[in-house]
Structure 1
Amino acid sequence: MVRAAIVYYSRTGTVRQVAEAVAARSGWPLAEVADVKSRAGILGDLRCVIDNLFHRQVEYRYDGPPLDRCEHVVVLAPVWMGGLAAPMRSFLAASAATPPLAARVSAICVMAARGGFQAEAEIARLTGKTPAPALVLVERDVLSGDAAVEIDDFVQALRLADSRPAHAERPAWLSPNET
């Protein structure tokens, strides 16, 4: 069984930069979700919009261990139009379908201005797990290097989470007014 994997999708290289920083700090291996067809140029931009607007399942390539063999999966993805990028959404939908994902899930979403929390909620829905720890980064902070402290804190939280027993979700009926 693979202890952990950092699974990322990056169209422009920004999320890859974050994934490589997390891998360097944690020592965990990288696994890439990539497009089968290029998304370069104006037509690629248009496909991104259409794929996310209509929640289309898209073709992707995956280079990494099967998720059902991982104890912990860290998902990194960009935010497109206020939601999770289509290739990562398609990958998670296919990977978590059968068998259900048993691994712990953590997440980092990189957004231009908004939608990071909706993307993390989408990761939770697709995997059936609440990402913990979870982090939303702004693209300009990643590119300027200002996100380094937040990435360090995230990796510390990953280490802390892995040193504790798995968190059991509290049934909703015990706290019906809390979300």
Structure 2
Amino acid sequence: MERIGIFFYSRTGTARATAERLASLSGWPAYEIRDAVPRFGLSGDWRCIVDSLLKRCPDVRYEGPALDSFDHVILIAPVWLRSLAAPMRAFLKMQGRLIKVYSVICVMSGFGGFRAVDDIATLVGSKPRSILLLKQYDVLAEECDASLCRFREQIRAAAPAAWDDPVLPAVD
């Protein structure tokens, strides 16, 4: 039996809602990456903008198990200004090379999901097995269950031997 874990960062709660829903649908545990200094209000918005534009890696807190103890890691990351959210970038810069096999769910208000996936692949050093891009509106309206179920089934169907397959599946 493969050990699968969900790892997410969420500032506004959208990625958290996605992680909680996927955990509920799959039974996989979810672990949160947090900002060392919370991003509240207008100053938090400005920090998000500056961190994204300058590709900074802010201090983050993570208190879960080691990533290399999982056979498959699912990363749920927000997209800020068409790129990977800075706290997830910082987390992956520190621990991304510990990931054996992974898949990605990006949540965004508009565009930039594939650019964020490229950022993740660079930090981890390999391509994700599956990708799911979700719009913030669909998550908040609770209209993403069908996509999450297809994503879950895709992860479950992939045997460890098939993870060496060069084909990169995407859901939706």
Normalised TM-score (structure 2): 0.91
Q: Deviations over 1:123-170 (max 9, x none)?
A: 111111211211000000111122111111111111112x35143265
Work out the CA distance in 1 between the residues paired with 2:22 and 2:5: 11
Letter of the 1:38 partner, please give it: P
How is 1:97-176 mapped onto 2 (pairs within 5 angstroms)?
100-161=97-158, 163-168=159-164, 170=166
Query: What per-residue deviation string (whole Å, max 9, x for no partner) do you get for residues 51-91 of structure 1?
Result: 01001111000121111221110000100000000000000
> Could you say what secondary structure the match of 1:42 adopts?
helix
Cα RMSD, aligned residues only: 1.4
User: Which residue of 1 is the match for residue 84 of structure 2?
Assistant: 84
Distance 2:165 2:53 in 1: 31
Instruction: Give the whole-Å Cα distance in 2 for the aligned partners of 1:160 and 1:46.
Output: 42
How far did 1:103 drift?
1.6
SS across alignment from 1:68: helix
Structure 2 residue identity aligned to 1:94: M
Q: Name segments (4+ residues, structure 1) moved above 4 Å.
A: none
Larger radius of gyration: 1
Measure the CA separation in 2 of the matches of 1:164 and 1:87.
Answer: 29
Query: Which position in structure 1 is the counterpart of 2:169?
Result: none
Equivalent pair of 1:30/1:64 in contact (CA under 8 Å): no
Q: For structure 2, which runs of at least 5 residues remain unmatched after alignment?
A: 167-172
The amino acid that maps onto 1:95 is Q
Amino-acid identity (%): 43
1:67 aligned to 2:67?
A: yes
Tell me the TM-score normalised to structure 1 length: 0.87
Structure 1 unmatched ranges of 5 or more = 171-179
Give 3-state SS (helix, strand or coil) of 1:114's partner. coil
